[in-house]
Chain A
Amino acid sequence: MATPTTNMSVSHLHPTGSLAIADHRLPSGKEEVWRFTPVMDLIDMFDPNTERGHLAPAVGGQSGITLGRLAVGQGPRGDALLPVDRAAAIAAQVDSADYLLIDQAVAAPIQLDITGHGIDQPTADHLVIEAKPYSSATVVLHYRGHARHIGNVEVIVGESAQLTVVSIQEWDRPAVHLGQHEALIGPGSNYRHITVSLGGDLVRLTNNVSYAGVGGEAQMLGVYFAQAGQHLEHRLFVDHNHPRGVSHVDYRGALQDRNSRSVWVGDVLIRPEAVGIETYEANKNLVLTDGCRVHAVPNLEIETGDIIGAGHSASTGRFDEEQLFYLMSRGISEAEARRLVVHGFFAAILNRISLPDVAETLMNRIDQELAFDKEIQS
């Protein structure tokens, strides 16, 4: 069934957002947006009556920013994010949201460490990040520990601001993390959203952007590494609702071991008024062993042809035995050859992130897991 969005457009891919929890029916797993997700493992996550705690972020690099809290309905909370699913609606209703205000150029990355303390203490948070016009900053959210967490991140990027939001999911097993990251992009601004998903039993993030006016550029990059029993899901939606916006989506993931699963859904809607826009989205998956499952679904809805360009691609490939032979024929061991190929696979994204600490976190983690896997096999 087609679901109306706004401005006379009808998107087949996106449910209408709503702040009311009751507007989002309990997922059965048959819905388009839930069909890849093991919803039976998440029943408690959809219960609005569950008492939920707060995962207070430990904030580093505080100069040049203001921290505060926002009640339901207190702006700018709600200016950008309208929940698109039941879990996001539950988090959007928390009494008090964390509020990070950036109103100047902040050079050092603003670090928010968010640590869970147990899977028997469900938590829900709503974080609002507002970058005032002409400000610039990089915000790094680093999730660790044990949790059953719903975390929304609502981002307002002011006119001509430059904002990078990095979200690193480095949870311990068996953490669960659902959430909606929603950004409203101001004219002439530059927004980069980077996800790094490594840990947890289940991570499902819905990463959306729309535009507040003419122009503005969104770059959404992601890397993930799924192992035995992990479900890592990233759903992206770029809503080109104004003229001359730019969006580039590029996600890469590797998988190894039985029952590792990744889901990438990349939706781009080009509304009739979005003339002169440019968009490209890509997803690449590298399957390292048997027993992995990859779902990669790019969708492009084009309602005006008066654009600069629109394209997408998604691919899934197995580890290339010819590459392995080539590297090993130069004396490189099999383990080292695999490590080189996996590093190389992610390099295309990591080089664009240009945050050495983030790249190092990812590569160290992947090295550990490749080495660990090797130990199990031998």
Chain B
Amino acid sequence: MTERCLEIRDLHVSVNTETGHKPILKGVDLTIRPGEVHAIMGPNGSGKSTLAYSIAGHPKYTITSGSVKLDGVELVGLSVDQRAKAGLFLAMQYPVEVSGVSVANFLRTAKTALDGQAPPLRGWASTVNDSLAKMQLDEEFAARSVNEGFSGGEKKRNEIVQLDVLNPKYAVLDETDSGLDIDALRVVSEGINRYTDQGDRGLLLITHYTRILRYVKPDFVHVFVDGRVVEAGGPELAESLEETGYERWLTARP
């Protein structure tokens, strides 16, 4: 019996550009167990988002070697939707607008796909409305086109609404805190904490700033520089980053 966890082993990833393949991730190792909160911090261009998108299966990125296992299921080679069905969720830094598809329809279609059957109509509307209310979004958002005309903060809150409704085994949040004002940051953080408070969910939080870590307490902090984890520690590592920044790892590079 395999241990339940999201296990990233020696992951190498290239981005596909017009001029060829450019290596971005250079051997990432991470293990996220149910109930754990991991934060990945690092400077711009270090490959944090590449890690998130390549795990989720974005076609722009090629996994050249390594493995990503979710509760023993190898994700590498699976289609994007199969990875989600295995239990993975990615909250995006730039959520995409889908014109003419309502939030309610999107959530219902996703829930149906993940569960293999449509959720009972009875109670579904209140499920959606409750999740919207928890993120302080008006009920009318259910009828609006996905992310269309949403403010930056509303898009991020809508990502957490999806996290709440779909309730995946493991969630990767890619800079969900960026672009949020202090009130929105608190609302989003509370949403994330409700998810992790279930106790058996794994969270990988990717961020530039320590600010969100005042609300979402990580069990582990990883410093990410130049496509790999250069240092790992507990919450105290985030605090030292606040003071020193990423300077010492950047200057250590050849």
Contact = CB atoms under 8 A, between A and B. Distances in A.
Interface in A276-329: 320-323, 325-329
A321 B145 contact: no
Given A331-B84, A340-B106, A323 B98 contact: yes
B50 interface: no
Assign chain B's interface to a size class.
20 to 34
A348 interface: yes
Contacts of A337: 81
A325 B80 contact: yes
Interface string B77-101: 0011101110001101001111111
B79 A323 contact: no
Interface string A220-263: 00000000000000000000000000000000000000000000
A336 interface: yes
Given A323-B98, A325-B80, A333 B113 contact: yes
A358 interface: no
Contacts of B110: 327, 330-332
B56 interface: yes
Contacts of A347: 99-101
A347 B146 CA distance: 13
A326 B114 contact: no
Given A329-B80, A331-B114, A340 B59 contact: no
B58 interface: yes
A347 to B, nearest CB: 3
B106 A345 contact: no
Contacts of A29: none
A332 B81 contact: yes
A341 interface: yes
A323 B98 CA distance: 7
Interface residues of A, number: 24
A173 interface: no
A376 to B, nearest CB: 19
Given A323-B96, A346-B100, A331 B106 contact: no
B101 A330 contact: no
Interface of A is mostly: helix
Nearest to B80: A328
Interface string B58-83: 11000000000000000000011101
A329 B113 contact: no
B28 interface: no
Given A321-B59, A330-B162, A336 B113 contact: yes
A343 B101 contact: yes
B109 interface: yes
Contact of A332 (B59, B96, B113): B113
A348 B109 contact: no
Contacts of B100: 343-348
B166 interface: yes
A326 B59 CA distance: 12
Nearest to A320: B96
29 contacts: A320-B96, A323-B96, A325-B57, A325-B59, A325-B80, A328-B79, A328-B81, A329-B56, A329-B81, A329-B90, A330-B110, A330-B114, A330-B166, A331-B84, A331-B85, A331-B113, A332-B81, A332-B109, A332-B110, A333-B113, A334-B81, A337-B81, A340-B101, A343-B101, A344-B145, A345-B99, A345-B100, A347-B101, A348-B100
